[in-house]
Amino acid sequence: MPDLATPSNTIKILNKHNFSVQKKFGQNFLIDRHILEKIVKAAKINKADCVLEIGPGIGTMTQYLAHHSGKVIAVEIDKKLIPILHETLADYDNVIIKNQDILKTDLLSLVNENNDGKPIKVVANLPYYITTPIIMLLFEQHIPLESITVMVQKEVAERIKTGPGSKEYGALSLAVQYYARPEIIASVPPACFIPRPAVSSAILHLKKHKEPTVTVNDEGFLFGIIRAAFNQRRKTLANALTNASDLSLARSQVTNALKEMGLIESIRGEALSLIEFALLADKLGCT
């Protein structure tokens, strides 16, 4: 099977199978082998690795992953792509194709069955309509995971990577940075895909922390505080937290906690680092 990462080979396969691209599944197929090489390099794939690929499409990236890794588990929602994948990946005996929705997949069982519970690497050109739920699911299900290397919308990569003070900083930056260290590897223009997406993309590498960089008494409460702070990001942090009915916090509790931390009462959530949010959560959680 020829390398699918060229416009002509991709079009040939799509036409051969009379396949029409499904916008609702976020289908934008990669056609640039330099980008695929960058992804495989960033993920540091080697023959000892088991890779989970989310949304293999017609198998373009899967070919590269199968070539470099020990095993690939490819989870694809679109059943019309399954016969195409069986054809394009016929040369590889280390690929398992699953016709499933990744958001409804029991990832822990999948990893335990296929990699004896050892950490996997996730590599994907993600469907952009569900980028955030997929990334959060991978962390929150607490599966054995080494890293995530994914193509995402450039703007989302920037939101994930940024720190306090920038306008992109928010709940997503903090949630991801709680679990991993983000790095933007490269920008990828729309011309690298068929069909071309309306936005620019970026390769994002998330190296999971071996030990958490912050520890809190109650992870759920920390994320509740963070969500509330950015739900009303133009308000002061004290107002945003006391307005959040699910947190049931009195204004004096919040202002006292801020004072103890040496922060001004009028501070906004966007000025706090992850460590400060963690400290605040522990202070508020035990009052």
| Residue 237 near residue 269, CB atoms below 8 Å | yes
Of 111 and 228, the one with the shorter C-beta distance to ligand SAM is 111
* Residue 8 CB contacts under 8 Å (≥ 6 apart), including other chains: none
Per CB under 6 A, does 66 bind ligand SAM? no
> Any contact of residue 75 with ligand SAM (CB under 6 A)?
yes
**Residue with nearest beta carbon to ligand SAM:** 55
Chain positions 103 to 122 lying near ligand SAM, rule: CB under 6 A, are 103
Nearest approach, Cβ of 143 to ligand SAM (angstroms)? 16
DSSP 208-220: EPSS-SS--S-HH
76 binds ligand SAM (CB under 6 A): yes
58 neighbors 14 (Cβ within 8 angstroms): yes
Question: Among 35, 39, 52, 54, which residue sits at the site for ligand SAM (rule: CB under 6 A)?
Answer: 54
Least distance in angstroms from the C-beta of 28 to ligand SAM: 4
Please report how close the Cβ of residue 86 comes to ligand SAM at its closest, in angstroms.
Answer: 15
**What is the closest distance, in whole angstroms, from the C-beta atom of residue 47 to ligand SAM in the complex?**
21
Task: Out of 45, 49, 52, 57, name the contact with ligand SAM by CB under 6 A.
Answer: 57
* Interaxial angle between packed helices 33-42 and 60-68, expressed in degrees from 0 to 180 and rounded to the nearest 10: 40
Q: Which helix (H) or strand (E) holds 284?
A: helix 274-285
3-state SS track over 85-137 = HHHHCCCCCCEEEEECCHHHCCHHHHHHHHHCCCCEEEEEECCHHHHHHHHHH
Q: Which residues bind ligand SAM (CB under 6 A)?
A: 25-30, 54-57, 60-61, 75-78, 81, 101-103, 125, 127, 130
